[in-house]
A and B are shown apart, each in its own frame.
Chain A
Amino acid sequence: AQTVTQSQPEMSVQEAETVTLSCTYDTSESDYYLFWYKQPPSRQMILVIRQEAYKQQNATENRFSVNFQKAAKSFSLKISDSQLGDAAMYFCAYQDSWGKLQFGAGTQVVVTP
């Protein structure tokens, strides 16, 4: 069974600074997808970025980028130039070939002015 681990319950960052959220996963599959979802206090689930396991190039989406290390089964999210609106719970998720998403426990990002 696959597991997703987020070891940081909370991370604090100052506005305009950079923060990195860690995520590791365990799988025996070779073909899968990884995602970061953002959940603000409204509790919506908003897709931030995704990475295909077969791609070596790290995904980027504006101020968000990932560091995907397939051999280490690591998938960290970097938020650059942090903004107050980035404050939210961030979930790392693994998607298997059947389509279901498995989520980590989440990391709360606090942005201070």
Chain B
Amino acid sequence: EPEVTQTPSHQVTQMGQEVILRCVPISNHLYFYWYRQILGQKVEFLVSFYNNEISEKSEIFDDQFSVERPDGSNFTLKIRSTKLEDSAMYFCASSKGQGAINQPQHFGDGTRLSIL
């Protein structure tokens, strides 16, 4: 069964550095998402992406964050200047459809980001 793949599985970065988290969604999926989960807390929505633009973003997704689909397969999340509170598990998800048309979102295994 096709799956969403995320790399790296664990990223350690110095505070203030830029970090790029990579995701390869399922090939025939059109909608892409990033979520994060701070340790011991619930999963929080960051951003959704469709047709090469952001569909929706949460208040967490400030100017330090950006997303990109640089080619036909990758979907990246960039954090420009990392802060200690960015330490979390970041999940990428993709789906064929959206909302009421709905197809379930398939999640990658996550990237654990540790900011030192």
Contacts and interface: CB of A to CB of B under 8 A. Distances in A.
Interface in B34-80: 35, 37, 41-45, 48, 55-56, 58
A102 interface: yes
Interface stretch (A18-26, A40-48, A79-87): A40-48
A45 B107 contact: yes
B99 A97 contact: yes
B109 interface: yes
B42 A99 contact: no
A47 B95 CA distance: 13
Contact of B43 (A31, A97, A98, A103): A103
A41 B91 CA distance: 15
Interface of A: 31-33, 35, 37, 42-47, 50, 52, 91, 93, 95-106
Interface of B: 31, 33, 35, 37, 41-45, 48, 55-56, 58, 89, 91, 93, 95, 98-100, 102, 104-107, 109-110, 112
26 contacts: A31-B99, A33-B102, A43-B89, A43-B109, A44-B110, A45-B91, A45-B93, A46-B107, A47-B104, A52-B102, A91-B43, A97-B99, A98-B55, A98-B98, A99-B31, A99-B98, A99-B99, A100-B33, A100-B45, A100-B58, A101-B33, A101-B35, A102-B45, A103-B44, A104-B42, A106-B42
Given A45-B43, A45-B93, 12 more contacts: A33-B99, A33-B102, A43-B110, A44-B110, A47-B107, A91-B42, A97-B100, A98-B98, A99-B55, A100-B45, A101-B93, A103-B43
